[in-house]
Chains A and B, each alone.
Chain A
Amino acid sequence: MTNDAPMIRIDALTKQFGTFTAIDKLSLRIERGEFFALLGASGSGKTTLLRLLGGFEFPTQGRVLIDGQDVTDLRPNQRPTNTVFQSYALFPHLSLAENIGYGLLNANLPKREIAARVADALARVRLPDLGKRFPHQVSGGQRQRVALARALICKPKVLLLDEPLGALDKRLREDMHVELREIQRESGITFVLVTHDQEEAMSLADRIAVMARGTILQVDTPRQLYEAPRTREVAEFISNVNLIDGICLRRSGSEVIVAVQGLGEFVANAVGDAPVPGAKVTLAIRPEKLRITDAPLAGENVLRGRLRASTYAGDRSHAAVDVPGLTRPLLVTVPNIVRQLTDGPTGQTDITVAWVPGAAALLDA
């Protein structure tokens, strides 16, 4: 077994509940020391996949290997994985210290060694004095950290996290993001995180698998998923996006000219495989890559429309621009570079929206 074998290998995994297929012939590799996120809407199969990794469900077909060992038929207590549950699942009748030490009960360690390790774990999650408290006596954020410490004390090869931050408020969640990343880097343990929150996945994970209908739509780095989604579904799931359907007219160098019926021609930069002339393509443009301007620059793509609505969001405003010929309004994120004490007038005609060729990703129709 070499060290470049993946930490987790999932081969053609299928899980059916009755007639419902939760996971559909899914294959995936997760590398050693990776912070990996399974991202999807509810019902996409991401939690089922995590439970299959933890041994809480058994697959209908396919295999799971962890660190080269076939664990497909192993129970949770026989696997080199530990889990941070969505509800934390702290044992209510045990103190925080007893909760954290629970995983060491079978290790045949002297009591002093266990106490030392528990104290160490409590210090690492910055709760050094709370060992004697019970779960209901501490806050949600503290419970979350205890759950993390409890799962890490057995030094698993893989840590599974099931929407661990879902119950925390936004501020606390962002603090925990930093802490989670630090713990992951220091421990070198492979983390697999399930979340429906694309921002969370983007800020935590090295790589993200976007899931839907029990399959993986795309596995990539956060940057690739955001800037170069491969399908409309992925583009739309990862944050807001404007999609404009057209046909590839011709190519010149890295530039692809796309004709959109009723709206004219637009220039986009192709990365990798460029579409062949005549192929249906979709321009995918993130709202922050569009700008509203009176004076488009040379070489910019331009659309004209009418401002339908504008929503103020502090550092930026979200504008929706109706463009004749497009079924959905264009979403434009406008940075508020001067103070916006009032909303501008809506219904204004002749708004010009412009973007540079490098702003648009090209999707296969």
Chain B
Amino acid sequence: MKSRGLGIYAAAYLAFIYAPILLLPVFSFNDNPFVTFPLKGFTLDWYAEMAANAQLGNALRSSLLIVVPVALISTGLGLMTALALGRYPLRFKTAILTLLMVPLVIPTLVLGVSLLTLLRGVMGFQLSLATIAAGHILLCLPYSVVILLARLDGFDRSLEEASLDLGQSGLATFRRITLPLMMPAIVASALLCSVVSFDEFLLAFFLSGSDATLPLYIWGSLRFPAKLPSTLALGTCLLLFSFLVVAFAEWVRRRGVPGSGEATGL
């Protein structure tokens, strides 16, 4: 059969990507504090241990305290930026867009060091969850702008002109036409920013005060072998959660706006 080789290749490809990730849930149910084969037996102990861990609970709370404002503020700023770039007769558009994308390509390490210097050294802020959030907004803004701008470019500008033509003011047009049509991209942007912020380690590492975010907690607990299985349980929960988020984002995107043609964005 002609496609047999290709089938094997595809299977190997998928295994290469997903096997390491799938080890996580497998060992999280394994009745053995050491992560080794062969598997011993099924247990939910590690999940119980995870749930009982107060430090972990605090870390999760800290992460959520950062994620929600970061997602909202990044998407809000991103929306304003996208509207300015996409709808306003602005000069130097390309230059502005390029500058906005820079945080994507600057090594996060460099960004972390410079933000630390700026926020603490120059401006004299106490490091806290707020400083982490500030760093994350900087990191999320390019994603948000790209998603929202793609959607804005994706729908016919004459829709907004038609609304003006039919007697609505600029503000009413934004509320009645632009915003509803942008909604799938706004949701997508908020979700992506949430994921980026929730998962981010380096900036959080540099900019954290006394409170640890979830990635910081996980990193810290890896130094203690006894905590490893419950970390795997946590990882499994996070994995499941991110699948749900991605599925939801995709559902919103596909549902999109009926008949508005190709939905864009993530």
Residue ranges of A at the interface with B (Cβ–Cβ < 8 Å): 54-56, 75-77, 81-83, 85-87, 89, 91-93, 102-103, 105-106, 134-137, 150-151, 154
Contacts and interface: CB of A to CB of B under 8 A. Distances in A.
Interface string B19-33: 000000000000000
A105 B258 contact: no
A76 B259 contact: no
Contact of A91 (B164, B165, B167, B177): B177
A137 B258 CA distance: 9
Given A56-B161, A76-B161, A135-B259, 18 more contacts: A54-B161, A77-B167, A82-B165, A83-B161, A87-B156, A87-B158, A89-B158, A92-B181, A92-B260, A93-B180, A102-B163, A105-B167, A105-B168, A105-B176, A137-B258, A151-B165, A154-B166, A154-B167
Contacts of A82: 165-166
A136 B162 CA distance: 17
A106 B258 contact: no
Contact of A150 (B159, B161, B166, B259): B166
Contacts of B177: 91
B258 A102 contact: no
A105 B161 CA distance: 16
Interface of B: 155-156, 158-159, 161-169, 176-177, 180-181, 257-260
A76 B165 contact: yes
Contacts of A137: 258-259
Contacts of B166: 77, 82, 102-103, 105, 150-151, 154
A54 B163 CA distance: 12
Given A87-B158, A89-B158, A93-B180, A77 B257 contact: no
A89 B167 contact: no
Top-10 shortest CB links A-B: A136-B259, A103-B166, A89-B162, A89-B158, A92-B260, A76-B164, A76-B165, A92-B259, A85-B158, A83-B165
A136 B258 contact: yes
A85 B259 contact: no
Contact of B165 (A77, A87, A92, A136): A77
A77 B161 CA distance: 9
B167 A106 contact: yes
A102 B167 CA distance: 9
Given A92-B181, A93-B180, A136-B258, A77 B168 contact: yes
A41 to B, nearest CB: 22
Given A93-B181, A134-B259, A135-B259, A85 B162 contact: yes
Given A77-B168, A83-B162, A150-B166, A93 B156 contact: no
A55 to B, nearest CB: 8
Contacts of A93: 180-181, 257-258, 260
A105 B169 CA distance: 11
B231 to A, nearest CB: 45
A5 B158 CA distance: 32
Nearest to A79: B165
30 contacts: A54-B165, A56-B161, A56-B164, A56-B165, A75-B164, A77-B165, A77-B166, A77-B167, A81-B165, A83-B165, A85-B162, A87-B156, A89-B158, A89-B159, A89-B161, A91-B162, A92-B159, A92-B181, A93-B181, A93-B258, A93-B260, A102-B168, A105-B166, A105-B168, A134-B258, A136-B258, A137-B258, A137-B259, A150-B162, A150-B166
A82 B169 CA distance: 15
A75 B171 CA distance: 13
Nearest to A137: B259
A106 B163 CA distance: 12
Nearest to B168: A77
A81 B168 CA distance: 13
Contacts of B158: 85-87, 89
Nearest to B162: A89
Contacts of A151: 165-166
Contacts of B176: 105
A106 B165 contact: no
A108 to B, nearest CB: 12
Nearest to A51: B161
Contacts of B260: 92-93, 136
A18 to B, nearest CB: 11
Interface centre among A81, A92, A102 (most CB of B within 10 A): A92
A103 B258 CA distance: 21
Nearest to B159: A89
A150 B162 CA distance: 10
Nearest to B160: A89
B156 A89 contact: yes
A260 B260 CA distance: 60
Contacts of A135: 259
Contacts of A105: 166-168, 176
Contacts of B155: 92
Nearest to B260: A92
Contact of B167 (A85, A86, A103): A103
A77 B257 CA distance: 25
A151 B180 CA distance: 22
A165 to B, nearest CB: 16
Contacts of B259: 92, 134-137
Contacts of A87: 156, 158
A102 B177 CA distance: 11
